[in-house]
């Protein structure tokens, strides 16, 4: 299987999100190419629509996004490994996401959900997984925007691993909490390889906070208060 991991973290190999992605890959028992968007020179989408009306799906810009877009086309599975920044993707990764508009067509239609859609990758023609983590206390209400973007861009069948309380991965003392989470991510990879889905039981483990919400909020607030006092 040809797998492409798009790592949207500026921390590159030290990314917490990528740590979860590697656990998922361990479950898949496959290798992958990793692209770090922070290292790439990617122009913003110009909304010129040349890819829709002139060039048959090819962007007319000449930058490093073109190479990545070709890699996405060639991959059997694309894993977007994206930390949650301001309830969305980091800007350098979002620039690449915007450029994938060339995968869809100009033709739109009204779906069963009464929303407009475009024909193309949104049909689920490219196997896609979103893995994201953020320093917020829970998944609900925080990852919604990012999940909406990926599923509207690449299909409702896009699998998701959304890790709230990612700050717990920063300390060795919390390994009793984070190691079971990584094991669940690994199991999700095994399930996805076998069925193309993550089971409901595994998904529940991945979506539920590792510690109570109020405890996480108190710990984070105390940490930042201590940091401010030092400065």
Neighbours of 49 (CB within 10 A): 12
- Looking at per-residue pLDDT, the higher value among 165 and 231 belongs to 165
Domains defined along the chain, listed by start: 3-230 (3.40.50.360)
Range from 73-77, 117-121, 151-155, 183-187 carrying the lowest mean pLDDT: 117-121
Q: What is the pTM of this model?
A: 0.95
pLDDT in tens, 78-136: 999 999 999 999 999 999 999 999 999 999 999 888 888 888 887 888 899 999 999 99
pLDDT at 215 (0 to 100): 92
Average pLDDT along the chain: 95
* Mean pLDDT within 144-169: 95
How far is the C-alpha of 26 from the C-alpha of 87, rounded, in Å? 28
231 has a pLDDT exceeding 80: no
pLDDT at 115 (0 to 100): 87
pLDDT at 198 (0 to 100): 98
How far is the C-alpha of 86 from the C-alpha of 176, rounded, in Å? 28
pLDDT at 125 (0 to 100): 82
Nearest to 129 by CA among 191, 36, 44: 191
DSSP assignment letter at 113: T
| Strand blocks (E) in 60-163 | 77-83, 108-110, 116-118, 127-133, 159-163
pLDDT at 122 (0 to 100): 79
Range from 17-26, 100-109, 114-123, 179-188 carrying the lowest mean pLDDT: 114-123
How far is the C-alpha of 226 from the C-alpha of 47, rounded, in Å? 45
pLDDT at 209 (0 to 100): 92
Residues 100, 72 contacting (CB under 8 angstroms): yes
Neighbours of 230 (CB within 10 A): 5
């Amino acid at each position: 299987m040809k797998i492409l991991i798009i790592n949207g973290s500026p921390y590159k190999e030290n990314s917490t999100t990528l740590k979860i992605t590697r656990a998922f890959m361990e479950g898949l028992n496959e290798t992958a190419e990793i692209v770090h968007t922070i290292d790439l020179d990617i122009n913003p989408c110009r909304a010129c629509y040349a890819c829709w009306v002139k060039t048959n799906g090819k962007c007319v810009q000449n930058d490093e996004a073109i190479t990545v877009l070709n890699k996405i086309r060639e991959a059997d599975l694309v894993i977007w490994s994206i930390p949650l920044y301001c309830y969305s993707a980091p800007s350098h990764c979002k620039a690449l996401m915007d450029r994938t508009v060339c995968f869809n067509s100009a033709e739109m239609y009204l779906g069963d959900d009464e929303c407009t859609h475009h024909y193309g990758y949104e049909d689920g023609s490219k196997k896609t997984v979103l893995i994201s983590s953020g320093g917020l206390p829970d998944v609900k209400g925080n990852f919604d925007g990012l999940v909406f973007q990926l599923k509207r861009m690449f299909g409702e069948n896009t699998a998701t691993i959304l890790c709230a309380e990612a700050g717990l991965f920063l300390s060795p003392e919390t390994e009793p909490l984070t190691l079971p989470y990584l094991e669940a991510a690994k199991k999700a990879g095994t399930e996805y390889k076998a069925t193309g889905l993550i089971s409901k039981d595994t998904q529940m483990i991945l979506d539920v906070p590792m510690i109570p919400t109020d405890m996480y909020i108190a710990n984070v607030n105390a940490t930042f208060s201590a940091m401010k006092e030092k400065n």
